[in-house]
Structure 1
Amino acid sequence: MKKFSTAAILCGGKSSRMGFDKSKLVFNDKLLIEHIAEKLNRVFDDIVFITNDKNKFNTGFRVIEDVIKDCGPIGAIYTALLNSNSQFVFVVGCDMPFINLDYIRYMKEILDTKEAECLITKKGGYFEPLCSFYSIDIKDKLKESIDKGRFKIMDTIMKCQAIYTSDEEVEKFISEVDMFANLNYKEDLEKLKYGEYFKWML
């Protein structure tokens, strides 16, 4: 099994703040998640959409339905690990379009030199669990948490052999575009129209 092959895009959020399903956002005549997938495909062989409905998308990428529904990102990550083609899965949200491939390559380098079950992005005292790597070895821990109704993903990560990026490391990859930016509100969609943001979609 390869160490790094699969990247998972989580597409099952409720999108309550946006007012419609963010995974259905279209940009330049293509689903936004397909733009994200194509960019990730430059550094991963296998891209998978994790969704609450496997019939939601008509795409050339793998679409996997949540094994356990209605428990948030922890359930989607669990599903991704069950369907991974590699030891580690990179996980990102469907509303995080400004992928920084250099940062992902750097994270891979860290995992090539350190033993870990998770590599979690940490910036400014906040965790970014949807811009992080997870080992398939934590499947059972995720399932145990889900079975107990403990859906906060960071609570389970704290029980794993996890390592974290530092502010100093992350700052090296920060540009005029925030790679951790979420498209949560309709106003956020304006970012996709401007040049400094648009180039990050290519």
Structure 2
Amino acid sequence: MNCLSVAIQAGGGSKRMGVNKALMSFLGEPLITRISRLLSPVSDDLFIITQETEAYQHLGLRTISDEVPNMGAIGGLLTAMAQARCDYVAVVACDMPFVSPGILKHCLEILVDNNADVAIPLTMEGYEPLHAVYRKATCLPAIREAMAAGKKRLISWFSDVKVMGITEDRLSILDPDQLAFINTNTIDDFLQAVEIAKQHPEMLPPNFD
């Protein structure tokens, strides 16, 4: 079986939320606890990338600061590749309460079977780079080169590697309710996501009352 590291990016400023959204209570547990719980079954190496390492010590996971500070999401992606203990690395955002282990498992299979470097969901909105799987050996140098050239877009280096897009027809099987890519940037987003979760009993935390 292929070893998979999973990096949860919790480095954003949560400016639109006003508070640290990763630590907000989502149905009785911090959002980042929910995400780590959902992803731990598919991960051999689960860790958090954050500038606030002390805030996440209670989770018992590795917490790592950005290798290159103040570079935004691409800086987090670089850190994920550099710090991963496995050859394959999934990177997810801390504000996606319906993150899909099934999609990540499928991405890993597609990446390995096709000898690709990136396996990534591709929707009508475009690529979902914070819900994708990467090959460390090829992606790490490509990201370093992009950053050295002043590129900050998360996908600015894709032309230098082999990318496999997971199209919507396949995603509709893995995520029939189309929830996986919902993020919670605002209080309204967060409250709406809570209500969605309540409508899906399988998405409730263990022992939820």
Q: With structure 1 as the length reference, what TM-score do the two structures score?
A: 0.91
Change in CA separation of 1:32 and 1:125 when aligned onto 2, cut-off 3 Å: closer
CA drift of 1:112 comes to 2.9
Task: Look up the match of 2:80.
Answer: 80
CA drift of 1:102 comes to 2.2
Runs of 4+ in 1 over 6 A off after TM superposition: none
Task: Look up the match of 1:35.
Answer: 34
Contact 1:98 1:177 in 2 (8 A): no
1:166 aligns with 2:167: yes
- The structure carrying a bigger strand percent of its residues is 1
**How much is the aligned-residue C-alpha RMSD, in angstroms?**
1.8
**Residues 133-190 of structure 1: CA deviation (Å, up to 9, x unaligned):** 1111221221122222211011112221211111211121233351100001101122
Which deviates more from structure 2 when the two are superposed, residues 137-146 or residues 66-75? 137-146
Task: Look up the match of 1:133.
Answer: 133
**Residues 64-123 of structure 1: CA deviation (Å, up to 9, x unaligned):** 111111111111111111111111111110001102222222222212311111111101
Question: 5+ residue gaps in structure 2?
Answer: none
1:192 aligns with 2:194: yes
CA distance, structure 1, for counterparts of residue 121 and residue 174 of structure 2: 12
CA distance, structure 1, for counterparts of residue 190 and residue 34 of structure 2: 15
What is the count of residue pairs matched by the alignment?
201
* 3-state DSSP of counterpart to 1:86: coil
CA distance, structure 1, for counterparts of residue 110 and residue 86 of structure 2: 17
Contact 1:74 1:153 in 2 (8 A): yes
Contact 1:99 1:200 in 2 (8 A): no
Contact 2:90 2:131 in 1 (8 A): yes
Identity of aligned residues (%): 25
Contact 1:118 1:133 in 2 (8 A): yes
* 3-state DSSP of counterpart to 1:170: helix
Question: 5+ residue gaps in structure 1?
Answer: none
Amino acid at match of 2:93: G
Q: With structure 2 as the length reference, what TM-score do the two structures score?
A: 0.88
Output aligned runs, 1:58-77, within 5 Å: 58=57, 59-77=59-77
CA distance, structure 1, for counterparts of residue 70 and residue 162 of structure 2: 26
Task: Look up the match of 1:90.
Answer: 90
CA distance, structure 2, for counterparts of residue 160 and residue 174 of structure 1: 27
Task: Look up the match of 2:20.
Answer: 21
Task: Look up the match of 1:6.
Answer: 5
- The structure carrying a bigger helix percent of its residues is 2
Task: Look up the match of 1:153.
Answer: 154
Task: Look up the match of 1:118.
Answer: 118
CA distance, structure 2, for counterparts of residue 181 and residue 111 of structure 1: 24
